[in-house]
Amino acid sequence: MHIYQSPRGDLEVPGGTITEWLFAGLSARPDATVFTDGPSGRSYTGAQMIDMIRKLAGGLTAHGFGAGKTVAIMAPNLPEYCAVFHGVAYAGGTVTTLNPTYTADEVRQQLLDSGAELLVTVAPFLETAQAGAKDTSVREIALIGEAPGDGPALPLNTLMGDPLEAQVPVDPATHIVVLPYSSGTTGLPKGVMLTHRNLIANFEQIRGVVDVRPGEVSVAVLPFFHIYALTILMNFFPGTGGAIVTMPRFDMEMFLKLIEQHKARQVYVVPPIILGLTQHPLVAEHDLSSLEMLVSAAAPLGVDPSQAAAARLGCAIVQGYGMTELSPVSHFSDAQNYRDGAVGQTVAGTECRIIDAETGQDAAPGAPGEVWVRGPQVMAGYLGRPDATAETMEGDWLRTGDLGRIDEDGYLFILDRIKELIKVKGFAVAPAELEAVLLAHPSVGDAAVIGMPDAEAGELPAAYLVPAPGAAIDPVDIHAHMDEHLSHYKQLGRIDIVESIPKSASGKILRRLLRDKAA
């Protein structure tokens, strides 16, 4: 067995809960601003955030949404997102995070699977939230901000109560504090069970490679519902001395303005934003001289766009690597030690193996294979899916489904994807989910979906459709059907009508043959 050890050594994971970890950081600077809403300027100090979290935890407990309960959040990036998340955690509950662009069908699927009893959202998403919550375990919908009078939703403020002075006791090693959804290496979205210890371990691992200077500000353009932003921006940054300015959606002009206004030194992005920064004319109109480092993750970033962005912005462009099942970071680069095209070295307390796909044995040093990871940030498993957990875990090793190689200095290079997921602007799209929706259309007899390269998005889903007997497929009708049931980033970039879908003897779609055909 050839195990690549972390050059950063072992890790001692602190005890306690994720909220106690955050409070320790915020308490050190009670009067400093830690969260600011970018568009409005509304802000909270460390003391104000702690107070809001404690009051919400007390109110949730009093209203029966505390210990042992699951609360869903479907909201854009706002300072209050942090308060809701930690109010639930401090009360001994579990948070499941929903993409606010989800359709009612997608919302319902996650609410049913997670068993959430309270759904917290904002007014623009209320209609979708109500439709999605029908016939689920949700007992109440609460709105961040103003709620319509005599409406079906409560203002979040009405759930505030007497401050909870201490964390509701939980076992940090086993209590599931957050339940984001991921397709893993294949299949439909599954609830990823992450414990307090998982997240705290990852905070401390990131601390070993990311230097947050007292009071420095970063712009949170990545969505908090995604584990990348939830861990690094919503928790790690304010918990280690920094401050966050939130953006409810990506807008290049606002993004550049906030970097300039707050003199952001390090900003966390995805490859499509890097690509935009190399090309957009507005970049030349803003003073971005404060930038020292842009960190790209969630999807591979090529050497050419990396070097182009570095040349235009005059800062380091570095990469990190991980997945929801890793809380999410397993590899990271820093501004002093990085290599173009590499996603970094393993973080502290983390081990890595490269497994040859054909032999199932460890690949020779420098040779490609599937990336396996072991460490305290590895998930507890998939909610209610022991079968999927067993497919992903080999003992205490997590099989990532990514093909990579490690060089002589321990830098990981991601070469390709073994797993079937399609990465659209950093978001993972499961072909199986799209195929299920396509097959529900009466004119579709069979369907297969693969990813096709796209200069802006990285990849887009391409569908191969076989007409149902006696039916004709109208692409316009298919696009409308997909738009009704799935989020914008899951929409098809191409539709091909074919006579048959290539499949193995066991009925598994041979996507490789479709990729060869598309090439």
- Model confidence at 367: pLDDT above 80: yes
Give the per-residue pLDDT at 506.
Answer: 58
For 39-74, write each residue's pLDDT tens digit: 999 999 999 999 999 999 999 999 999 999 999 999
Give the per-residue pLDDT at 13.
Answer: 98
Give the per-residue pLDDT at 505.
Answer: 67
**CB-based contacts of 446-454 (< 8 A; 24+ apart in sequence):** 446/500, 446/501, 447/501, 448/501, 448/509, 448/511, 448/514, 449/422, 449/492, 450/422, 450/511, 450/514, 450/515, 450/518, 451/421, 451/422, 451/423, 452/493, 452/494, 452/518, 454/493
Percent of the chain with pLDDT over 70: 98
Q: What is the separation of C-alpha 300 from the centre of its chain, rounded to a whole number of angstroms?
A: 15
Q: Which pairing describes strands 393-394 and 329-332: parallel, antiparallel, or unpaired?
A: unpaired
- Model confidence at 468: pLDDT above 80: yes
Q: Which of 246, 235, 245, 243 is nearest to 23 (CA)?
A: 235
- In this structure, is the dihedral angle defined by the CA atoms of residues 284, 289, 295 and 300, taken in order, positive or negative? positive
User: Which residues lie below 8 Å from residue 418, measured CB to CB, with a gap of 6+?
Assistant: 185, 357, 370, 401, 402, 403
Cross-strand partners of 460: 452
- Using an 8 Å Cβ cutoff, are 400 and 323 in contact? yes
For 476-506, write each residue's pLDDT tens digit: 999 999 999 999 999 999 999 999 999 866 5
Tokens 């300039």 belong to residue: 260
Q: What are phi and psi of 370, to 5 degrees?
A: -75, 135
Q: Which pairing describes strands 118-121 and 181-182: parallel, antiparallel, or unpaired?
A: unpaired
- Using an 8 Å Cβ cutoff, are 219 and 290 in contact? no
**H helix intervals, 179-290:** 196-207, 227-229, 237-239, 252-262, 271-279
What is the pLDDT averaged over residues 180-209?
92
What is the pLDDT averaged over residues 222-236?
97
Residue 162 in tokens: 């007497």
Cross-strand partners of 503: 509
Instruction: Report the 10 Å Cβ neighbour count for 42.
Output: 13
Domain ranges of the chain: 422-518
Give CA torsion, residues 43, 48, 51, 57, to 10 deg. 20
Task: Label residue 149 by pLDDT band (50, 70, 90).
Answer: low
What is the pLDDT averaged over residues 92-98?
98
- Model confidence at 348: pLDDT above 90: yes
Helix H or strand E encompassing 245: strand 243-246
- Model confidence at 122: pLDDT above 80: yes
Give the per-residue pLDDT at 150.
Answer: 66
Task: Label residue 342 by pLDDT band (50, 70, 90).
Answer: very high
For 175-188, write each residue's pLDDT tens digit: 999 999 987 777 78
**pTM value?**
0.90
What is the pLDDT averaged over residues 382-408?
95
For 313-326, write each residue's pLDDT tens digit: 999 999 999 999 99
Mean pLDDT of the chain: 94
Tokens 């055909």 belong to residue: 517
Give the per-residue pLDDT at 199.
Answer: 98
Q: Which pairing describes strands 412-417 and 422-424: parallel, antiparallel, or unpaired?
A: unpaired
Instruction: Report the 10 Å Cβ neighbour count for 462.
Output: 22
Specify the CATH architecture of the domain 422-518.
2-Layer Sandwich (3.30)
Percent of the chain with pLDDT over 90: 85
User: Which residues lie below 8 Å from residue 203, measured CB to CB, with a gap of 6+?
Assistant: 21, 231, 235, 236, 239, 240
